[in-house]
Amino acid sequence: MSKKISYQGEAGSNSNMACTEQFPDMEAIPCASFEDAFAMVESGEADLAMIPIENSIAGRVADIHVLLPESGLQIVGEHYLRIRFDLLGLPGSSIEEATEVHSHIHALGQCRKIIRENKLTPVIAGDTAGSAREVQEWNDPTKLSLAPPLAAELYGLEVLASSVEDDDTNTTRFVVLARKQELPVRSKLPESVITTLVFHARNVPSALYKALGGFATNGVNLTRMESYMLDSSFAATIFMVDIEGHPEDLPVRLALEELDFFTWEIKILGTYAASEHRQKVSASFV
């Protein structure tokens, strides 16, 4: 029986491609929402979930910063997917006769050049691959889709133009989630490790400055930090951070002890091997 990995979106989406790239031997299961993808892992119907967390152009993925800490799941890996979009139409159709292009709002925003050059009207769809399915169902040569390359094959569409994204560095970072478990011990992981955590800063002057000071004085590198409001009070802020290192590493342990003094909750979401993509990019900026 093959193992399963859940993702949000339709077959042929970028999340689907991330699953097949990272786990080619697993069965990728599409889900209507992030919550549904989480639930499949929680219930045991799926072994893992592949969830986008941030994009190099669009920034963080909406709602993930709220959903992830409350999911009850644990980050066990990460994957970076180079985002590519093809312009798809019905077999025999052409860009010249098209009037509309359908896709997710982010895809439309990341492919403005070809839309403008061909005087196409952008129409927002709920999903990139879903727009390809709809173009196939509508059977209208005036409607095109901007979708990942996998969608053309799945929905029997013709690639009218390939790799039409405006920025050829467009990349999405995904995290791999599993059911809650003990953090892997340091000896079971490679040298390059990422720990993701969230903390609630105390609502006092300089609390964040002092909380982060422990990372600086102990030489722990923060690779990412996001902030968001806890509730409608606008008085409590949660921070999600990625740091280099394992909680067993002495510098990280000391930094977390200092962090604990200036916060009222710390939750580690996962400790996992840094991806090869991250290591290559990090090395280029040293």
- Catalogue the active-site residues: 172, 174
Query: Nearest 5°: phi and psi at 285?
Result: -105, 0
Distances (CA, A) of 5 to 25, 42, 53, 73: 10, 12, 16, 14
Question: Distance between terminal CA atoms of the chain?
Answer: 45
Distances (CA, A) of 250 to 35, 88, 197, 223, 258: 36, 53, 17, 18, 12
- The alpha carbon of 146 is separated from its chain's Cα centroid by a whole number of angstroms, namely 19
For the record, the structure tokens of 18 come out as 């991330």
Strands 237-244 and 193-201: antiparallel
Handedness of CA 155, 156, 161, 163 (dihedral sign): positive
What whole-number distance in Å separates Cα of residue 286 and Cα of residue 283? 5
